[in-house]
Structure 1
Amino acid sequence: MGWEASEGVVPVTKDQNLITWRVSELTEWDIKPVCYINLIHSAQCKVDLPVTVYKTPDSVFISTVNHRGPMMERQRYQLQCDVHNVAPVKYLTVKWYKGQTLLNQTTFNDTIETPENETVTLLIRPDRADDGAQYWCEAELDLGAEGPQLHPTNSSKPLSIAVYYKPKINETKLPSVVRVLRGYPEVLVCEAEGNPKPTISWSVSSNDNKNSETLTITESTPENVSCTARNTVGSTTRHVKVSIQGAQSECPLQLDPQRVVVRYGGSVAVNCYTSVLHKGMGWEASEGAVPMTRNQNLITWRVSELTEWDIKPVCYINPNDRGQCIVHLPVTVYKTPDSVFISTVNHRGPMMEGQQYELQCDVHNVAPVQYLTVKWYKGQTLLHQTTFTDNIKTPENKTVTLLIRPDRADDEAEYWCEAELDLGAEGPQPHPTISAKPLNVEVYYKPKHSNSTETIIQDDKDMLDCTVKVNPAPTYTWDHLKEKISSSVLKSSELSPGRYTCTATNTLGRDSKVFIVKSTGGF
């Protein structure tokens, strides 16, 4: 018996039952040692020794592709991870992280045994919450149960990103209506978050702008003021109505309800009433105006089919003891989408495991968009949601996208998107929602057995089962048999004791499983 190998060969020996193949410094990448024996009463037989020679990467480096400097919110960017001089690549997994959160991972089906360089990319669409986030990638070699534990890993130096985003005014600190008691000034504070840091300006009248975060409101301040936060990305404006309170200035009108939400083409009715003597009261509106009347203390603004998107009704009164005063009625006219549709971008057919794809959700003819939320689901799991800051009142079409990188567990998964209108407490409950028809994805992935080796005792287990779940369906081949057999299952009772290797192969790759068949008396 002896060992044949390109390194560490052991010449044939007749006087031993145990011989050792030994190499002190193995430098052959694709070495294939064979132990052989020349039996006295039969021909020579041999056993191949599977050897995996590995090398951890020289370096792992992360970078941005064709971009430098800050990123803009909601724009798409590509990160690149370069893994240098690693082998064998088929056992390599490259993982992407944001902070401590695993974002994605990529495996390889290369069969080359010698060191290679590998480059993988990740598409990101950062938002304001990602400003200052650290992205990094990690190369991991999973060499199986016989390999080192823990798995060898090499990580890149983290990449910190800066995200530029337009200002967002803190609405909880700046109410939409400010009531000021006559003779007691009120200081308004306009705070905004943005990157770069926004500048703040107040517009008190058409010819008056004040660059400051604060504004002092007095009885002489106009009824409408606004705060604008602006940076290089964009601007946001918050409108504030000033209501001067006091015995001589408070308007003696009450609205019921004080705000209305109505579907486009729907009916609406709001009461305006007073408890004081007056010379006349009425409603001004582009639809449903009520002429001034002197003999009533309650008048109703009513429209049977409201078709004005930006209607601004005003109830007014001319009290006996002062001049005219008015009260505005906030009206939100909404329309649910005509349709919500999900699709893949620039792709048809099955998706490949580990590759990145873009899904698109189209929401048609919805208003107002500022109350719209588009939600993404996989099955019943919420993946992501998008809101909008548009202040346009009329219907718009909106398109949002989602980047996915499916794995084998996602085969036959259902992705879908949903458009929801949250119109506040005065709006319909529950919130109107329209969902897209689910998109079923098919994922192609290479074979992978749960166990690489299984020992079979013929009397204990009758079957050698090499079946593996995979897409597309694999073909099966067995070695060490006189005839090639395409079945994934063999009967152990019909086989001689020995080593049998089954290989499952599809268009994406292959994976083998070894069965050691032993008789009841041993092997």
Structure 2
Amino acid sequence: MHCVIIFPPLPALRLPPYTAEIPESVILSRNESGTLEENREYTLRCEVKSVAPVENLQIIWYRGDTVMAASTNQSLFSTVAVGVGEDKSQNVTASLTITASRKHPNATYSCAARLNLNATVKSSCNNETCTYTTEAINDTKSNDTQLEVWYGPDIVSNIGNVSLAVGDTLELSCQADANPRATYTWTHNNVTLRNENSSTLHIESVSVDHAGQYVCNVSNTVDSAQATMTVEVYHYLIIKNHSRDESLAAGDMLELFCHVDAKPRDTSYTWTHNNVTLLNENSSTLHIESVSMDDAGQYVCHVSNTIDSAQATMTVEVYHYLRIVNHSVNTSFIAAGDPLELFCHADANPNSTSYTWTHNNVILPNENSNTLHIESVSVDDAGQYVCNVSNTIDSEQATMTVEVYRNHMVWIAVLLAIVVVAIIVIVLVAYQAHHMKNKTGQYKFTNLVKFRSGSQNGQVAVANGHGA
């Protein structure tokens, strides 16, 4: 027993001192043992042993370090006197009703007894003089009692309804607040999913079979709860774009394509040409390096995945041409011995053209270009020439006629030359003859003798008596 003597604050009033008894102990208890169930009411008892004066007693209730309530109404106290004689101490029991809540699942409760005495305490006396001090009386606190509240699961979060595409990742979650800790099970379209016993359901790659209703079942020993989620799994296969209809020339390069957006993404491609499947064509692009007339027609790109399929149709037109755009004149006149050159030029697609020449329906060997050349023509080279041009698809020809005439001017020139020469010779002969005749008539034999003798003497005789 711990007693404190309290002196009145005004000694002049001559009031007698009195004794305050600090509680021997304070004990917190409750009306039943075990865990608390949420939302039920429970009574806490605070038993204060041997305290006085009771009229100054206050019971303080704590949850942790927080004051919950303070009981000062003595009429609510249950008291039992334990003192004898002047000892006025009593045992006091106070009660507090609490409602168990998940907000405080493992709270610590306590109570304390407080004597509200604003008294002056005599600390020392000397003869008839005393010294007084004010001293606060400390609270007497009870033991700490931890109370655990059990409550059923409360699903605090779930992902709700989900819409996703085939191949996407599905993750459903339902987090529950519960004490004791809750257990989880999942069902899909009323079928329990094995090995799915956590608050999260994970499916790496969903298919259309994963669509439907999912239920997260949460339970503990107190209660159970569930959350329902609907999963919609959609899929699509759309050809976003593809080649337009093509019109191109034979020999050109052809490239067709069809691009898709699909779920699932694992698409496969096949191509058909005029309803015939093209082998080894299994990509989104069809490539033909050099088209021919056989490549014309309808092309279909078939695209599919595990769920759906689509197709795109394209029409390809392959055109060709071969025309002789220029050639030698239809009829050529040429003199024998002159050079001859014939030509024919072609514009063609495919442009891999070949040339042959015929002369009077006879093929000319080694003549395989667009030009025919004869260094010196003869009359045998006259006649009809045909230039034959062809490629892998078509052919054309051009006809030219060559007439070779003899060169009479040469003969005329030769004859004229002969005549001229003959005339010159005749003139010269005639002139010479005439000249010689005139000279023969003027000389005499005697003069000749003189001439000769004069020559021997170093002199020359000149006819008609003229000297040199």
Task: Identify the TM-score tier after normalising by the shorter chain.
Answer: 0.3 to 0.5
* Higher Cα radius of gyration: 2
- Ranked by relative contact order (alpha carbons within 8 Å, sequence separation 6 or more), the top structure is 2
TM-score by length of 1: 0.37
Q: Which structure is higher in helix share?
A: 2
TM-score by length of 2: 0.41
